[in-house]
Amino acid sequence: MAITVVSRPSQYNAAYLPVEYVFTSDKSPNVISGESATGSLKSADNLGVDIEVGDDLVVVVTSTLPIVIGDFIKLENAGVYNGIHRVSEILVGTEGVNVSWFKIDTPFSVRVGGATDPFVTPISSVTVSKYYNNFSAVLDLYIEGSFIVRLRKKVNVDGQFVFDISNILQEYLGSDLNDLTETSHTVATDLAKDFYIQYAEEYDEITDGINNLTLQSFTDDSSNTFTAVNSTVPYVWLNNFSIDSVNYNLSDFYSDSIPNTSTRFLTNQPSTIEIGSNESYQLSFIQGTIKVRDDLKRRVITYDSTGSVIATTDTTLIISSSSEVVNVSCGTNNLGAIITAATAKYDVKIVYGTDVISETLTFSINSDCSKVDRRIEFVNKLGGLDAFTCKGKESKDMDIEKSVFKRTLNSSRTIPERSYTTVSVDSKEVHTLNTGIISKAERDWLIEMIESPECYIVLSGYRIPIQITDKFGIDKLAEDSFNIQFEYEFAFDRITQRN
């Protein structure tokens, strides 16, 4: 007799989708053998004692129940007496063992047998069940091995206890930013968190007729440890005004099969993107069930302008780690001597041993310099960090707010003298930037930049936080040519002065 786990979350979970544990219990609703019976409702008159309206009702069951005074019972098929009632007196049988007749503290109120002979005719075929009062399923959530919160749920209409912990997990997740000069990798600290639970039942236990809400012993479920990822993916994903995916999840982003060339990095970037000759980039990768193995490598294959392979370079990322997600640096600025003057493009993939275990992403090196090169980094919907260099026109404006105090001047005064005094000045730069000509695939990808809650502009080797506002537009220039114009502000005031 215990609470039972019906379903658990996936091994890897997008924290902005439901992350659910589902339980059932044989106590709520009660399906425990020997704790339900068929019976009838009688009056005390059936026991040789007259009954008046307001007296307690008597329940007679055909098979005994292990109930005590103070226990609750549930009546079904009992007409107006359907519902929960409390046992007030044991009439026949041993308390807690084999009770067949007992009173409930519900007063007699309906004349069934006639106006002059109340309730002589019993209400028969009543279903009588022991009821566990104040029953709850209880869940303790642990994140990275630390207790976070205790949750309670009542049974729903489907007879289940459903805990959605996604909102809690979201509070403990964030972004991972490799240093712009990182040459290898980092392991996820905020992008992904491990979690597990312990669970128990809670209900009233009766001692000397007194109800005591009692938490039962917990079951440790730490052997089923899962990972939450700072990802948001839609239930329905539209592509070209048609449904591309329904109930989207992270299943495309991890795999336990080796080799596997389709497991995706945590990005929706096109399979080939442009990168400058001295720009940083990072890709995040879920290690799947190989998380505790060694010999995880970044493979970079460089090509010259004719498409011929220059070199294949494997860099060991993890010798031994329990990390779930690895952030791999792979920009031209990160790869150092791997990128030579002859390199026109290069591929990046993840290798375990000698087996490829990821998709292949291609970076085409563009060394052309434009008058405006604005490198924007942004946290994508999957929790990874993407980057794009905008080469279109940029304009700058100022947003200035002043608080002014006015005072009344005396009739006798020196000149000049102020009537208006500036109390404070708040100023920020507002920039309007164009991506330049981009493809349809890049357009679809860069919508994530507009929607991203966390964006940066890379200036002089530093990440400067910015806010992309809700002012943007998409222009179609040709069949597969687009431009996105958007507005951004630095995520801090330029000047704050107080007089």
**Domain CATH for 332:** 2.60.40.2840
Same domain membership, residue 109 and residue 41: yes
Q: How many domains does the chain have?
A: 4
The two three-digit tokens of residue 379, written as one number: 């946290």
- pLDDT band at 382, cuts 50/70/90? very high
Where a domain ends, among 111, 131, 151? Answer: 131
Note down the domain range covering 163.
3-28+135-229
Please report, for the domain that includes residue 206, its CATH number: 2.60.40
Same domain membership, residue 140 and residue 126: no
Residue 111 has pLDDT above 60, yes or no: no
Cα distance between residue 159 and residue 155, in whole Å: 6
Cα distance between residue 328 and residue 350, in whole Å: 9
- pLDDT band at 363, cuts 50/70/90? very high
410 or 38: which leads in pLDDT: 38
Cα distance between residue 68 and residue 455, in whole Å: 64
Does residue 234 belong to any structural domain of this protein?
A: no
What mean pLDDT is predicted for residues 252-270?
Answer: 86
Q: Quick one: what percent of the chain has pLDDT higher than 90?
A: 65
Of how many residues is the chain composed? 499
Same domain membership, residue 393 and residue 491: yes
Residue 116 has pLDDT above 50, yes or no: no
- pLDDT band at 113, cuts 50/70/90? very low
Mean pLDDT of the chain: 87
Number of H helices, E strands in the chain: 3, 35
Same domain membership, residue 319 and residue 202: no
What mean pLDDT is predicted for residues 433-437?
Answer: 94
- pLDDT band at 317, cuts 50/70/90? confident
209 or 294: which leads in pLDDT: 209
- For residue 445, which phi and psi values (nearest 5 degrees)? -65, -45
Same domain membership, residue 149 and residue 119: no
Range of lowest pLDDT (67-71, 180-184, 229-233, 246-250): 246-250
Q: Quick one: what percent of the chain has pLDDT higher than 70?
A: 85
Same domain membership, residue 302 and residue 179: no
Please report, for the domain that includes residue 457, its CATH number: 2.40.30
Per-residue confidence (pLDDT) for residue 459, from 0 to 100: 92
Does residue 161 belong to any structural domain of this protein?
A: yes
Cα distance between residue 188 and residue 491, in whole Å: 25
Per-residue confidence (pLDDT) for residue 426, from 0 to 100: 78
Please provide the distance, in angstroms rounded to a whole number, between the alpha carbons at the two ends of the chain.
72
Residue 1 has pLDDT above 60, yes or no: no
Residue 250 has pLDDT above 60, yes or no: yes
Does residue 292 belong to any structural domain of this protein?
A: yes
Residue 471 has pLDDT above 70, yes or no: yes
Where a domain ends, among 367, 393, 409? Answer: 367
Q: Are 13 and 143 in contact (CB under 8 A)?
A: no
Same domain membership, residue 425 and residue 287: no
Does residue 59 belong to any structural domain of this protein?
A: yes
Does residue 303 belong to any structural domain of this protein?
A: yes
What mean pLDDT is predicted for residues 55-63?
Answer: 87
Per-residue confidence (pLDDT) for residue 237, from 0 to 100: 56
Range of lowest pLDDT (4-18, 35-49, 217-231): 35-49
Same domain membership, residue 325 and residue 218: no
Same domain membership, residue 149 and residue 202: yes
The two three-digit tokens of residue 408, written as one number: 């009344």
Residue 110 has pLDDT above 60, yes or no: no
Q: pLDDT tens-digit profile of 219-229?
A: 999 999 999 99
Does residue 243 belong to any structural domain of this protein?
A: no
The two three-digit tokens of residue 451, written as one number: 């929607």
Q: Are 28 and 41 in contact (CB under 8 A)?
A: no
Same domain membership, residue 465 and residue 426: yes
Does residue 312 belong to any structural domain of this protein?
A: yes
246 or 393: which leads in pLDDT: 393
Query: Do strands 12-14 and 374-379 pair parallel, antiparallel, or not at all (unpaired)?
Result: unpaired
Q: Which long-range contacts (CB under 8 A, 24 or more apart) does 308-312 make?
A: 310/340, 310/342, 310/343, 311/338
Same domain membership, residue 388 and residue 347: no
419 or 439: which leads in pLDDT: 439
Residue 48 has pLDDT above 50, yes or no: no
Per-residue confidence (pLDDT) for residue 114, from 0 to 100: 46
Residue 385 has pLDDT above 90, yes or no: yes
Closest by alpha carbon to 59, among 28, 92, 33? 92
Cα distance between residue 311 and residue 41, in whole Å: 88
Contacts of 245 (CB under 8 A, 6+ apart): 236, 237
Highest mean pLDDT out of 54-63, 83-92, 242-251, 414-423 = 83-92
Q: Are 213 and 185 in contact (CB under 8 A)?
A: no
Residue 54 has pLDDT above 60, yes or no: no
Q: How many CA atoms lie within 13 A of 289 on its CB side?
A: 9
Same domain membership, residue 490 and residue 402: yes
The two three-digit tokens of residue 115, written as one number: 């106006």
Q: Are 153 and 159 in contact (CB under 8 A)?
A: no
Q: Are 27 and 203 in contact (CB under 8 A)?
A: yes
Does residue 22 belong to any structural domain of this protein?
A: yes
Where a domain ends, among 367, 392, 418? Answer: 367
Per-residue confidence (pLDDT) for residue 239, from 0 to 100: 60
Q: pLDDT tens-digit profile of 135-191?
A: 999 999 999 999 999 999 999 999 999 999 999 999 999 999 999 999 999 988 899
